[in-house]
Amino acid sequence: MTDYGRWDSYVANLALSSDSEGEGTPDAAATEAEDGGEELSYGWGKPLDERGQIDRSGALTVGNAKGNALSTNEAPRKTVPIRDWSWDQTEDSVRVTLDVTRASEACVSDVTRRPDFSQDMVRAKMRPREVEVRCCDKENTWELTFGLEGLPGIDPEASSFAMSATPGDAKGSRPKQSIVLSLAKSDAGRRWDACGRETSVSPCERAKEDAVTITDYSWSDGEQSATVYLKVPGLKPGLGDEAVQVRFRELSFDAKCAVGGKRYSFAVTELPMEIEVTKCSYTVRENELRIRLRKWAKCSWFKLQVHRG
């Protein structure tokens, strides 16, 4: 059994990356390796099995070979439309408020018979005359959707969205979660008689043959950061922001690359220790995506993927 008290004591005595001199500079060893100097030694990890779980059998092997523990190739299995919404306007913009809490109550588990929606990621597509919103849960089981069409006209570049939370009405009730769309009018000063028409949003299509999990990769360990090297055929600088998407969390990250009609994906759900999300970065190279994970504390990583039971 893990001695968490001893582990916490060890962590407390580690030097923080942010406390080091030369803040913001990459590890010297990592820089040397990237510039063609001495290569760093690769770390060791455990592969994932067919279910995307950590394989606990056999000896250690290089990296978690499948790297797809976040199921980044899969679309949410169930879709629920957001029906409760309201809107108001000013001379320059329109504010649309979506009631996420009410919609999430319809996401009932087949096992527990209780709501099991846990909000994670929100995506919004805005076009001159239509809006599409998707809100996924952490387990990628549910997806809340909302759509408007026939809008009088908005400026997508000047429009935005944000999450909002208000206290529950009764004692012990959950806070009310909302998605607030701020739509900039393309014709400022024009008063809208209606906010378009509500429309259904098609469920995400499940990835088929064009979905590829990245298995050709390696990683290296430095004092202040760890670097992951993903081999992506056809990837090159200048493809645009839509071609590469990388998300960082305190103990996980995932990456998606759209190249040559295929969607390449890679994910690690449980890193050995926390990373500084705002200081992590990635670089697009020829046929390679290089991801730098800035460590929260100075220590060696012996695995890229771990399991906390």
Are the C-beta atoms of residues 43 and 60 closer than 8 Å to each other? no
Q: Where are the beta strands (DSSP E) in the chain?
A: 78-81, 85-89, 93-99, 119-127, 130-137, 142-149, 160-166, 176-184, 197-198, 211-213, 217-221, 225-231, 244-249, 252-259, 262-268, 281-285, 288-294
Q: pLDDT at position 181, please?
A: 93
Select from 262, 255, 306 the least CA-distant residue to 284: 255
**CA separation (Å) from 229 to 10, 141, 156, 220, 253?**
29, 30, 35, 8, 13
Q: pLDDT at position 307, please?
A: 64
| Model confidence pLDDT, tens digit, residues 7-28 | 445 445 555 554 444 443 444 4
Q: pLDDT at position 210, please?
A: 66
CATH T-level topology, domain 15-72+207-294:
Immunoglobulin-like (2.60.40)
Q: pLDDT at position 118, please?
A: 66
Q: pLDDT at position 207, please?
A: 44
Domain boundaries in the chain?
15-72+207-294, 78-198
Select the CATH number that applies to the domain covering 78-198 from these four: 2.60.40.10, 2.40.10.10, 2.60.40.790, 1.10.3720.10.
Answer: 2.60.40.790
- The segments of the chain whose pLDDT lies below 50 read 1-4, 7-8, 10-11, 18-73, 206-209
Q: pLDDT at position 270, please?
A: 87
Q: pLDDT at position 54, please?
A: 42
Q: pLDDT at position 95, please?
A: 95
Q: Is the pTM of this model over 0.95?
A: no
Q: Which residues contact 12 (CB under 8 A, 6 or more apart)?
A: none
Q: pLDDT at position 76, please?
A: 54
